[in-house]
Amino acid sequence: MSRILVISSSLRAGSNSEALAYAAAKGALDAGNEVETVSLKGKSIGYCVGCLACQKTKKCVLGDDAAEIAEKVKNADALLFVTPIYYYEMSGQMKTLLDRMNPLYADEYSFRRVYLLSVAADDAPETPDRAVAGLGGWISCFEKASFGGSLFCGGINDAHRAEKDESALARAYAFGGSIR
């Protein structure tokens, strides 16, 4: 059994990526894992100011919701980031959160595998490539962690559409079930 943290980064009402995040979380749970899902919706997460104080204190100087999320990230065995693709890249709020995980770099973290689930209106296979590469850059800073894989669900645009897309929901569920 693994402790899996699912982080849904969409702020949109009726979010397609959030619907798929919950399907993946259910798949992971049904596979016998301990699963927690965190949505960035309604969270206050400021930009990293680059002071690097966190490298000494293992805490960020900013007092917002990123600290609580960082603690959850630190203690998870596996991470699943879920993002809509905006302009062929991860959402800005996901990138901001990744930047704010800087205190973990100098700390003992548990996560060993990091996964990505992305969704976009465009369904070309290369659509998520930059988001995968961006997350890969973050992962490479954590020498004990590796990229576990990704799932891209393309051709999904209008709000609430993923909730009715049985194929995408089934693929997200199976992907979640494969996370270790």
Amino acid at site 10 = S
User: How far apart are alpha carbons 30 and 22 in whole angstroms?
Assistant: 12
Tokens (6 digits) for 81: 């980031």
Q: pLDDT (tens digit, 9 = 90+) per residue, 24-48?
A: 999 999 999 999 999 999 999 999 9
Domain spans in the chain, listed from the N-terminal domain onward: 3-178
% of the chain residues with pLDDT over 70: 100
Query: What pLDDT score was predicted for residue 47?
Result: 98
Residue 83: name the closest of 40, 141, 44 by CA: 40
The pTM of this model reads: 0.97
Query: What pLDDT score was predicted for residue 69?
Result: 98
Q: pLDDT (tens digit, 9 = 90+) per residue, 95-138?
A: 999 999 999 998 999 999 999 999 999 999 999 999 999 999 99
Domain made up of 3-178: CATH architecture? 3-Layer(aba) Sandwich (3.40)
* Band (147; pLDDT cuts 50, 70, 90): very high
Query: What pLDDT score was predicted for residue 2?
Result: 97
Tokens (6 digits) for 4: 């899996």
Q: pLDDT (tens digit, 9 = 90+) per residue, 55-99?
A: 999 999 999 999 999 999 999 999 999 999 999 999 999 999 999
User: How far apart are alpha carbons 49 and 121 in whole angstroms?
Assistant: 33
